[in-house]
């Protein structure tokens, strides 16, 4: 079957060149409390979708064990973010205020 060509902005892309965000894989619920908590993601994952539930949360992503702090990246309660992550990714979370929350993470395959 020939590739369908689409025009996006000023370029032309075939269906083979446009990659969807991903298919939901492993689901994780990361508790964000007063202390930073690190979680290792599946080693081969390159993208995640995450949603803060119950509180504003700070997070830090890297290829080794991470520590989230008051100046780490911010995700508001109820907000969803889709981000690329390095192979062998770890994500650390901590609450932003005085209320504990959960960071719902879906690994995208």
- For the stretch 12-23, pLDDT in tens is 555 555 556 788
Q: Locate tokens 């192979």: which residue?
A: 87
Helices (H), ranges, 1-109: none
The pTM (predicted TM-score) of the whole model is 0.82
CATH class of the domain whose range is 20-108:
mainly beta
Listed by start position, the domains of the chain span 20-108
pLDDT in tens, 5-57: 444 555 555 555 555 678 899 999 999 999 999 999 999 999 999 999 999 99
Q: Are 103 and 33 in contact (CB under 8 A)?
A: no
pLDDT of 10: 54
89 neighbors 41 (Cβ within 8 angstroms): yes
């Amino acid at each position: 079957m020939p590739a369908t060509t689409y025009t996006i902005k000023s370029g032309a892309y075939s269906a083979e060149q446009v990659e969807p965000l991903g298919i939901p894989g492993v689901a994780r619920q990361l508790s964000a409390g007063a202390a930073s908590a690190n979680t290792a993601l599946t080693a081969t994952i390159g993208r995640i979708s995450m949603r803060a539930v119950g509180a504003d949360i700070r997070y830090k992503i890297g290829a080794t064990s991470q520590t989230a702090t008051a100046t780490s990246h911010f995700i508001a309660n109820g907000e969803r973010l889709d981000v690329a992550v390095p192979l062998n990714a770890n994500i650390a979370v901590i609450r932003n205020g005085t209320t504990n929350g959960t960071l719902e993470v879906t690994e995208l395959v």
